[in-house]
Amino acid sequence: MKYKRVLVKFSGEALSGDSGFGIDVNVLQYIANEIKTLRDNDIEVGIVIGGGNIIRGVSAAQGGIIRRTSGDYMGMLATVINAVAMQEALEHSGIDVRVQSALEIKEICESYIYRRAIRHLEKGRVVIFGAGTGNPFFTTDSAATLRAVEIGADVIIKATKVDGVYDKDPHKFADAKMLDSLSYDEALRDHIKVMDDTAIALAKDNKLPILVCNMFKKGNLVNLLKYNEGVCSIVH
Ligand code: UDP
């Protein structure tokens, strides 16, 4: 098997299903089942979930009443809500799981302690990293890359609704071509939309491959990670 330990990142919006807001429990359970297939194949899994289905700092600050910093902390709290929901769904699927938060919320979850996170992973528990990096002005893409590097993940998986990275927006251009593989420098130069530049730069500095794939094709994650089969783009 190619990958022993992975970090899966998906956006908060992925959890909201068609409504675009909140948490759709059917989608939540679908994703939990996809994660379970990884655990069933002995792949150690860390997860970072965004918070965009609830609130994003930039949007919250748009009216000029909420300051960006407060908005960002609200966004980080949103990621903890999503993490707790995913914890429930994974446990419902019979998976051992812990949530670790970058902000201390001790009644609800553990605080992020990297050595403890690694121990959980070694014991076969899924670890969901909540509250992003714990700092405003960052995104959960950057948080996911940071945690992936810290836990020594072999790859970060950016799980999306599309098959990979395209040379232009596939929703707007019929002739958009998917790229199987691209370098970090190409990803930075072209500002590919799947991950922000801070995250890509951090991955580049640490030689962490980024695998972009569609999480909504059943079995795709495990096929890619275990059998090297399926459609994805790799930034490396
Ligand atoms: N956020 C932050 N610092 C972090 C991670 C997240 O301030 O390290 C805030 C930021 O406001 C962001 C929000 O949390 O907009 C939700 O995260 P993100 O937008 O990355 O979620 P996604 O788009 O993946 O759902």
Which pLDDT band holds residue 171 (cuts at 50, 70, 90)? confident
- Tell me which residue range forms the domain holding 146: 5-235
For 99-109, what is the mean pLDDT? 98
For residue 172, the model assigns a pLDDT of 87
- pLDDT tens per residue across span 125-153: 999 999 999 999 999 999 999 999 999 99
Instruction: Please name the residues in contact with 73: beta carbons below 8 A apart, sequence gap of 6 or more.
Output: 57, 103, 136
Rounded distance between C-alpha atoms, residue 116 and residue 192, angstroms? 34
User: What percent of the chain is modeled with pLDDT above 90?
Assistant: 92
15 contacts 164 by C-beta, under 8 angstroms: no
For residue 216, the model assigns a pLDDT of 96
Packing angle between helix 197-205 and helix 140-150, nearest 10 degrees? Answer: 10
Instruction: Please name the residues in contact with 186: beta carbons below 8 A apart, sequence gap of 6 or more.
Output: none
Looking at every residue in the chain, the average pLDDT score rounds to 96
For residue 1, the model assigns a pLDDT of 53
The answer to whether 63 is a known ligand-binding residue is no
For residue 2, the model assigns a pLDDT of 79
Q: Are strands 5-10 and 155-160 parallel, antiparallel or unpaired?
A: parallel
What's the CATH number where 174 sits? Answer: 3.40.1160.10
What is the CA 218 to chain-centroid distance, rounded? 17
For 39-52, what is the mean pLDDT? 98
Domain count, the chain: 1
Q: Is the pLDDT confidence value at 73 over 80?
A: yes
Distance 71 CA to ligand 1 centre (A): 10
209 contacts 235 by C-beta, under 8 angstroms: yes
Q: Which atom of ligand 1 is nearest to the CA of 143?
A: 8
The answer to whether 39 is a known ligand-binding residue is no
Ligand 1, residues at Cβ distance < 6 Å: 11-13, 50-52, 56-57, 71-72, 75-76, 78-79, 132-133, 135-136, 138-140, 143
